[in-house]
Amino acid sequence: MKRLNPYLTGGITPDWIDYLIAFQEAGADAVEIGLPFSDPMLDGATIQQASDQALRRGVTVASILADLTAARDRIRIPLIAMTYANLVFRGAPAHGGGPEAFCRRLADAGVSGLIVPDVPVDEADRLDEAAAAAGIDLVLLAAPVTPGDRLAEIGRRSRGFVYAVSVMDTTGERALLAETAAPLARRIKEVTDLPVLIGFGISTPAQAAAAARAGDGVVIGAALMRRVLDGASPDDLRAEVAAFRTALDQVDQEMPVARAHAEISGDRR
């Protein structure tokens, strides 16, 4: 089944957990929880605005994890935290800081995955060990310009799935799926058996379907957060995510036909 991982900025509104539950009810396979940071270098204007709104509300990592802990009996799908190295590595271990303590706090709140885009694979040893010790899957990212040897290392060391960054840019809505998305997904699949989820710029159910035909699923972020910033309710977002779910399910229904055609043509990829 093609995977749907919508993104939600933690604490974006006082009732942000209701959006998380709405995503779950709409058929999300997991939800990526953004831990707001003041300098989100990978994120475009919409996610930056969402983070700023959360920070203005006084949201912290501790408050987000407390909200998740309080809602654990309502949450049935995996949660993946997305944040930046500054938040993960700050503080000395002797004072309850560093990646070891950070990952334990995630696990205690029911989070099972972690994405830290500004920690490159060749500098990820300590974070990798800390995540593994806490039972957290450290998800690594690959980009269209990632060279083959580095791509193989990412495929070997990522856990849960590989995040395919579809375009060399920040997050944000786009009119068309990037032409680099499908070739990148194919390259990643050559070096790992992990699912490949495509993100960055996937803004419509049609784009999600196109991406899912190349990969194993999608991450949807800015398109959803823009709706929340514009005042859309959890019910509104449930309908939005359900439309993405329907599009991916339709791709699943196509796949047996696609495989049969591939065998007839002699394509053995």
Per-residue pLDDT reduced to its tens digit, 33-45: 999 988 766 666 8
Q: How confident is the model at residue 154 (pLDDT cuts 50, 70, 90)?
A: very high
Classify residue 70 by burial, with Cβ atoms within 10 Å: 0-12, 13-18, 19+.
Answer: exposed
- Catalytic: which of 15, 25, 29, 32? 32
Question: Is 43 known to be catalytic?
Answer: yes
Q: How confident is the model at residue 181 (pLDDT cuts 50, 70, 90)?
A: confident
Rg (CA), the chain: 18
Give one DSSP letter per residue of 99-134, joined into a string: HHHHHHHHHHTT--EEE-TTS-GGG-HHHHHHHHHH
Q: Rounded to whole angstroms, what are the CA distances from 245 to 35, 86, 135, 139, 220?
A: 24, 34, 28, 22, 11
Per-residue pLDDT reduced to its tens digit, 200-245: 878 899 999 999 999 999 999 999 999 999 999 999 999 999 999 9
Q: Which amino acid is at 105?
A: R
Helix spans in the chain (H)? 16-25, 45-56, 61-70, 85-89, 98-108, 125-134, 148-157, 181-189, 205-214, 222-229, 234-265
- Catalytic: which of 15, 18, 29, 43? 43
Q: Mean pLDDT over residues 73-85, rounded?
A: 97
pTM: 0.89
Question: Is 263 known to be catalytic?
Answer: no
Per-residue pLDDT reduced to its tens digit, 96-140: 689 999 999 999 999 999 999 999 999 999 999 999 999 999 999
